């Protein structure tokens, strides 16, 4: 009853939320001033985006490994096994011109795991969470973003394996100021994945084909991105074109920062940031444009 009393005293917010075919708007009460931003932010009737993101990501991550004996260890196994196989094959058969090839591979494979897993998850996120989406109002952009974040936790755990390799390949790791760029590069990679995920998540509700398109596209992208080969093996016209693939550019920059202690040059930053910004803008536009249709079709 105490709770009920407190609730009875609480005032309604001093503004309307208008829902129209064009979208959602804040409007003033009849005969009053338009509420200021500070006033809107004081309102505690909505959870902040960060709170929603935290809860969604944690629940998603924990639910994924429920009823599994090894749980998150499975995500360690895959890059390790791949690394073992590929190191053997490449070392024997193709003789790549890369020093410390296992470390080179592991960095690529960990990032690529993040890319494939988070994009596949983000594509399905509206269908998976259809019930919450149909019943509640919150910034639904947070759903694909939380899918990307929950696989970022996996990538973080897998990076510990990379650390475990430091004693075995001491010369493969260069302690340098360039290491400070690694979090920034991972942040850019995360933004890129969020941009892609926002687009695929809404499109997959309208056309369920998109999930297949994404898995096929990822397979193609895997070979167009220098994940398991160095970009130097590509012949020239292709190499100049493919360097604008932001995934490959980020991977190369990460490897250079970790293994050589080199910061990306201006052109490298351009090949990382420009395509990423474009993907995020287009992905955000697609999301906004189709979100209301998604609510009818999901």
Partner 1 sequence: MSECALPVSPPPASLPVQTAPDAAPLILRFEDVGKAFRRFEHKPFLLRNLLLRLTGRAQRPREMWPLRHVSFVVRRGETVGVVGPNGAGKSTLLRLVAGACYPTEGRISVRGRIAPLLALGAGFQPDMTGRECVEVNGTALGLSAAELRARLGDIVAFAELEDFLDMPVRYYSAGMLARLGFAVAVHTDPDLLLIDEVLAVGDVAFQHKCIERIHQLQRSGTTILFVSHDAATMRSLCDRVLWLRDGHLHRDGPPGPVLDEYLAAMG
CB of 40 to partner 1, least distance (A): 5
Q: Which is nearer to partner 1, 270 or 286 (CB)?
A: 286
x/- site string to partner 1, residues 62 to 101, per CB under 8 A?
Answer: xxx-xx----------------------------------
Here the tokens at position 3 are 């709770």
Which residues on neighbouring strands pair with residue 16, listed in sequence order? 27
Cα distance between residue 92 and residue 73, in whole Å: 29
Cα distance between residue 66 and residue 13, in whole Å: 41
Q: What are phi and psi of 94, to 5 degrees?
A: -95, -15
DSSP secondary-structure letter at 45? S
CB of 295 to partner 1, least distance (A): 5
List the interface residues with partner 1, window 273-292 (CB under 8 A): 292
CB of 66 to partner 1, least distance (A): 5
Cα distance between residue 88 and residue 91, in whole Å: 5
Q: Which stretch binds partner 1 (CB under 8 A): 77-85, 106-114, 124-132, 212-220?
A: 124-132
From candidates 122, 129, 148, 259, binder to partner 1 by CB under 8 A:
129
Residues 239 and 231: beta-carbon distance below 8 Å: yes
CB of 291 to partner 1, least distance (A): 9
Question: Within 10 A of 193 (CB to CB), how many other CB atoms are there?
Answer: 28
Question: Within 10 A of 285 (CB to CB), how many other CB atoms are there?
Answer: 12
DSSP secondary-structure letter at 233? G
Cα distance between residue 248 and residue 223, in whole Å: 10
Q: Which stretch binds partner 1 (CB under 8 A): 58-66, 161-169, 173-181, 237-245?
A: 58-66
Cα distance between residue 41 and residue 55, in whole Å: 20
Q: Which is nearer to partner 1, 94 or 207 (CB)?
A: 207
Question: Within 10 A of 256 (CB to CB), how many other CB atoms are there?
Answer: 18
Q: Residues binding partner 1: what is the number (CB under 8 A)?
A: 63
From candidates 1, 93, 160, 266, binder to partner 1 by CB under 8 A:
1
Q: Which stretch binds partner 1 (CB under 8 A): 38-46, 218-226, 236-244, 277-285?
A: 38-46
CB of 90 to partner 1, least distance (A): 38
Cα distance between residue 77 and residue 234, in whole Å: 29
From candidates 116, 128, 176, 245, binder to partner 1 by CB under 8 A:
128
What is the distance, to the nearest Å, from the Cα of residue 154 to the centroid of all Cα atoms in its chain?
Answer: 12
From candidates 82, 83, 133, 145, binder to partner 1 by CB under 8 A:
133
Q: Which residues bind partner 1 (CB under 8 A)?
A: 1, 3-5, 7-8, 10, 12-13, 15-21, 23-28, 30, 34-35, 37, 40-41, 43-49, 51-52, 54-56, 58-59, 62-64, 66-67, 128-129, 131-139, 206-207, 292, 295-296
């Amino acid at each position: 009853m105490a709770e009920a009393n407190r609730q009875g005293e609480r005032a309604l917010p001093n503004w309307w939320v208008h829902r129209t075919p064009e979208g959602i708007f804040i409007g003033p009460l009849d005969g009053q001033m338009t509420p200021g931003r500070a006033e809107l932010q004081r309102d505690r009737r909505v959870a902040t985006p960060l709170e929603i993101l935290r809860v969604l990501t944690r629940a998603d991550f924990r639910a994924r490994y429920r009823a599994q004996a090894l749980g998150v260890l499975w995500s360690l196994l895959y890059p390790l096994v791949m690394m073992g196989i590929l190191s053997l094959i490449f070392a024997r058969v193709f003789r790549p011109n890369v020093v410390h090839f296992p470390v080179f591979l592991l960095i690529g494979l960990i990032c690529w795991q993040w890319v494939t897993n988070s994009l596949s998850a983000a594509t399905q996120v509206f269908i998976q969470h259809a019930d919450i989406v149909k019943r509640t109002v919150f910034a639904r952009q947070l759903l694909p973003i939380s899918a990307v974040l929950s696989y970022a936790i996996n990538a973080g755990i897998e990076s510990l394996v990379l650390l475990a390799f430091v004693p075995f390949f001491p010369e493969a790791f260069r302690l340098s100021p360039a290491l400070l760029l690694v979090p920034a590069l991972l942040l850019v990679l995360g933004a890129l994945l969020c941009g892609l995920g926002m687009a695929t998540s809404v499109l997959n509700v309208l056309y369920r084909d998109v999930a297949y398109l994404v898995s096929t596209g990822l397979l193609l992208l895997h070979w167009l991105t220098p994940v398991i080969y160095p970009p130097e093996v590509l012949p020239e016209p292709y190499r100049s074109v493919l360097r604008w693939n932001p995934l490959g550019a980020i991977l190369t920059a990460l490897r250079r920062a970790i293994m050589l202690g080199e910061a990306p040059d201006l052109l490298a930053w351009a090949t990382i940031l420009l395509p990423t910004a474009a993907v995020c803008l287009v992905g955000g536009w697609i999301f906004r444009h189709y979100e209301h249709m998604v609510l009818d079709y999901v």
